Structures are given as structure tokens and as C-alpha cells.
Amino acid sequence: MNIQQRTLWIKQKAAALGFVSAGISKAEFMEPEARNLEAWLNQNFQGKMSYLENHFDKRVDPTKLVPGAKSVISLAYNYYPEKIQKDPKAPKIARYAYGEDYHFVLKHRLKTFLLDIQSTIGAVEGRCFVDSAPVLERDWAKRSGIGWIGKNTLLIHPKKGSYFFLAELIIDLELIPDEPMKDFCGTCTKCIDACPTDAIDESGFVLDGSKCISYLTIELKEAIPDEFKGKMENWAFGCDICQEVCPWNRFSRTHQEPAFEPKDGFLEMKEEDWQEITEEVFQRIFKKSAVKRTKYEGLKRNLNFLEK
């Protein structure tokens, strides 16, 4: 296959594997993104997520992660659920965590993808990434043209919204890169106005991670600061507020991934069920779920904080 045929085949294969978008970037040093990341870290917007300070050189240069890398394939995988939690008073769980942990679901697909590339195209070396390595996923996705980074700092597609996971294949195969997409946020400030903890900069496009409800309920391992009492809007794990208010998510469509279906009984849990949740119920409802990241003790901490 020539370079055009390889590029087309890879995009078709991505679609066959269930990815809703696939775009390609040239693997190179990310100069403007490196400056932006440095400025973000200097303002301590990472909070207690000290791991974001590590491997700076690898975050901004994929050739240091994959020697000889020539292309970054950015992929999007839909997780928008058909139904949400029934009790409006129940503590809320972010939609991405309704089913099985996406890290494992997508890693399996990516490994299949890489093996298919190798068996069809030839001796191609590379690595798979799903939100678990020093890769600037949204920046690569933006470069590849599968969306723009919105004022809420999430990747948005004008026909698919933002309820999707991002993943990458970084490979030593030359492909035709795509062009970035235009920013369609315009003058809209719905996400900025809706964020109850003021985590999004008043001009948008910058997130103070240390104020984000997702950070407070998942990444932060110590006590949630009292300054956030009464501001969590009943989110016990993660937060979807800036996605819920985004006009582009009116185009979101239900995912087709069986692994992302919630466990029986989860959506029906009432407010009192959450207040009385035992570790046994936690282990059953959230088996293989991303919610396991916070552990039972962490979820109880969040629930208790909401009750105060």
C-alpha cells in the first residue's frame, strides 16, 4: 500500500473497531502545547496530581515515548448512555463510569488494532495509550482534526458532542496528517457559567484542576476542603455539568458498547440506598468499574461530604 492507501485503510479499520472518529498527526515536538503546559503547571492548577509534573519531555514529544515515531493516530470512542440515574435526589456518578473501566475496554481494542496494522501493512512498531501515560491526548486529538478543545477544556465534535474517550496509537509508520478543526465555541459561556466551583477560567479554555469536582471526588486522596461545601451539586464521583450544558451535546448518540452498560440495579439506586451502601454492595455494583479507583472509603468520604 502507498501512503494514501495506508491512511485510508487505518481510518476504515478504526471505524470497524467501533471508534467514532480517527485522525492523524505528525509525531513531532509540541512547541506551543509545551509552553501552555508549563504555564498551567506553574499556576499549580494540577493540585495534588503531582504525576502531571513528571516526564515533561515525554508529554510534549512522542518520539521520546516511541523511538522512531512518525505518526500519532488519535481515536474517539463513544460512551454516551441511553439512560441515566432515576432518582434525581441520589448522589450522581459521571456517565463515563456507568459500565466497565474504559482503560481495559479500549486497551484491548487498541492492541487488536495494532496487530491488524502489523499483519496487513507489515513491520510497524508502536504503542497503545489510553489515558494512562504521559500523552497530551486532547492536544493530539485537536491536531488530528477530530474535534476542537472547548472552553470547558474537553474535546468537542460538532456532530458528536463530547461524551467520548480518547486513545492513541503512536507508530513508526508515515501517514498523511489531517488538518485541525475550527473552534465552534463562539461567544457561548454556558460551561463557564454552570461550573459551581468556578474551575473554568472566566475566558474559558483553562481549567484549574484543583477546583474541579472530578478532581475533588476522584484524584484528591485527602479530605475535600470545606470551601467546596454546598458547591458539589450532589456529584459523588466525577462530574458532567460542563458537558450537560454544552449545546453541542444535543448531537450525542447512545453508545453501542455492551461493556459500558451499567450493572443491574445501579441506575435504580435511591438516595437512601447510597446513604446505606455497604462495601459488599459497592464491590458488586462497581465490579470492573472506574469507580473502584476511589475505593469504598473514598466514595464514603464523598457521600459524607455531600450530606454535610
Residues 218-256: pLDDT tens digits?
A: 999 999 999 999 999 999 999 999 999 999 999 999 999
CA–CA distance, 141 with 127 (Å, rounded to integer): 16
Q: Is 293 helix (H, G, I), strand (E, B) or coil?
A: helix
Residue 104 φ/ψ, nearest 5 degrees: -75, -40
* 122 DSSP assignment: -
CA quadruple 192, 198, 204, 208: dihedral sign: negative
What gap in Å lies between CA 100 and CA 165, rounded to an integer?
13
Mean pLDDT throughout 104-117?
Answer: 97
Question: Kind of pairing, strands 92-93 and 126-129?
Answer: unpaired
Domain boundaries, the chain: 3-83+101-171, 190-245+263-307
Whether residue 52 is predicted with pLDDT greater than 90 in this model: the reply is: yes
How many helices (H) and strands (E) are present in the chain, helices listed first? 11, 8
Give the Cα separation of 110 and 169 in Å (integer): 7
Question: Which residues, including other chains, have CB under 8 Å from residue 207's CB and lie 6 or more apart?
Answer: 45, 152, 153, 199, 200, 201
User: Around Cβ 83, how many Cβ atoms within 10 Å?
Assistant: 10
157 SS3 class:
strand
Residue range 27-45, pLDDT digits in tens: 999 999 999 999 999 999 9
The cell for 220 is 484528591
**Residue the block writes with cell 451499567:** 262
**Burial class for 261, CB neighbours closer than 10 Å (0-12, 13-18, 19+):** middle
Position 142 confidence tier, pLDDT thresholds 50, 70, 90:
very high
Q: Which residues of 35-61 are buried (b: 16+ CB within 10 A; e: fewer)?
A: ebbeebeeeebbbeeeebeeeeeebbb
| Average pLDDT, integer, range 195-207 | 98
Distance CA 26, CA 148 (A): 17
pLDDT band with cut points at 50, 70 and 90 for residue 132: confident
Cβ 236 vs Cβ 299: under 8 Å = yes
Distances (CA, A) of 154 to 122, 136, 243, 246: 35, 12, 9, 11
Active site residues: 131
Confidence of residue 2 (pLDDT cuts 50, 70, 90): very high
Q: Mean of the pLDDT values across residues 125-135? A: 94
Cβ atoms 235, 308 nearer than 8 A: no
Radius of gyration of the chain (CA): 20
Percent of the chain with pLDDT over 70: 100
Mean pLDDT of all residues in 204-215: 98
Q: What is the pLDDT of residue 143?
A: 98
pTM: 0.96
* pLDDT of 86 above 90: yes
Strand order in the sheet with 164-171: 21-26, 71-78, 164-171, 126-129
In 3D space, the residue among 200, 280, 281, 283 whose CA is nearest the CA of residue 246 turns out to be 200
Which DSSP helix (H) or strand (E) runs through 166?
A: strand 164-171
DSSP strands (E only) in 15-153: 21-26, 71-78, 92-93, 126-129, 148-149
**Helix or strand run (H / E) with residue 281:** helix 279-285
pLDDT band at residue 308 under the 50/70/90 scheme: confident
Res 67 pLDDT > 90: yes
Closest Cα partner for 85 from 67, 97, 101, 103?
97
* 3-83+101-171 has CATH 3.40.50 classification: no
Please compute the mean of the pLDDT values over residues 98-117 and round it to a whole number. Answer: 97
pLDDT digits (tens, 9 = 90+) for 282-292: 999 999 999 99
- Position 31 scores a pLDDT of 97
Q: What are phi and psi of 74, to 5 degrees?
A: -95, 135
* Percent with pLDDT over 90 in the chain: 98
Q: Per-residue pLDDT for 123 more than 80?
A: yes
